[in-house]
């Protein structure tokens, strides 16, 4: 009977760890919901995103090295690659509108293609 509070805290600890990860690693600290339905929808969204990140290394061999890593490691690698690709895409778009040199844009497109194909080396 005296260990029941510890058992309850064991379940609460998992909730606290999940809450900490959501706020810290998933950057959800600025989302504020007040209604029960809003909270349920946010929790469902978080759980779907977390499960997708856990399953991705098993669904795609490109990410297989993240099978034993934390979800945060995979999320960080994905966000870095997305940031890199967005940078190249915006850069290429600005070059295409600013400079109409076909040779220059062709070289930049090849660089972008090379960077995107390098994604498979993660």
pLDDT tens, position by position, 16-66: 777 777 777 666 666 777 788 887 888 888 888 888 888 888 988 888 888
- Which pLDDT score, from 0 to 100, does residue 21 have? 72
Q: Tell me: pLDDT of 98 over 60.
A: no
pLDDT tens, position by position, 60-83: 888 888 888 888 788 888 888 888
Shared domain for 61 and 105, answered yes or no, is yes
Shared domain for 24 and 36, answered yes or no, is no
- The answer to whether 119 and 81 have CB atoms below 8 angstroms apart is yes
Where in the sequence is the domain holding 71, given as residue range(s)?
A: 32-121
- Which pLDDT score, from 0 to 100, does residue 53 have? 84
- The answer to whether 74 and 49 have CB atoms below 8 angstroms apart is no
- In the structure encoding, which two tokens stand for residue 79, read together? 């966000």
Residue 111 pLDDT class (50, 70, 90 cuts): confident
Specify the higher pLDDT residue, 23 or 97: 23
Shared domain for 15 and 45, answered yes or no, is no
Shared domain for 12 and 62, answered yes or no, is no
DSSP state of 72: H
Report the distance separating Cα 14 and Cα 97, nearest Å: 52
Q: Tell me: pLDDT of 107 over 80.
A: no
Report the distance separating Cα 106 and Cα 61, nearest Å: 31
- Which pLDDT score, from 0 to 100, does residue 100 have? 59
What total of structural domains would you count in the chain?
A: 2
Report the distance separating Cα 82 and Cα 96, nearest Å: 21
Report the distance separating Cα 109 and Cα 106, nearest Å: 5
């Amino acid at each position: 009977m005296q260990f029941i509070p510890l058992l309850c805290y064991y379940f609460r600890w998992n909730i606290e760890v999940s809450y900490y990860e959501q706020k810290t690693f998933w950057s959800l600290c600025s989302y504020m919901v007040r209604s029960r339905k809003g909270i349920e929808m946010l929790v469902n969204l978080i759980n779907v995103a977390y499960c997708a990140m856990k399953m991705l290394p098993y669904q795609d061999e490109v990410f297989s090295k993240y099978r034993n890593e934390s979800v945060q490691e995979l999320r960080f690698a994905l966000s870095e690659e997305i940031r890199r690709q967005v940078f190249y895409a915006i850069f290429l778009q600005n070059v295409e509108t600013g400079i109409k040199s076909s040779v220059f844009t062709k070289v930049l497109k090849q660089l972008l293609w090379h960077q995107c194909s390098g994604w498979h080396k993660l």
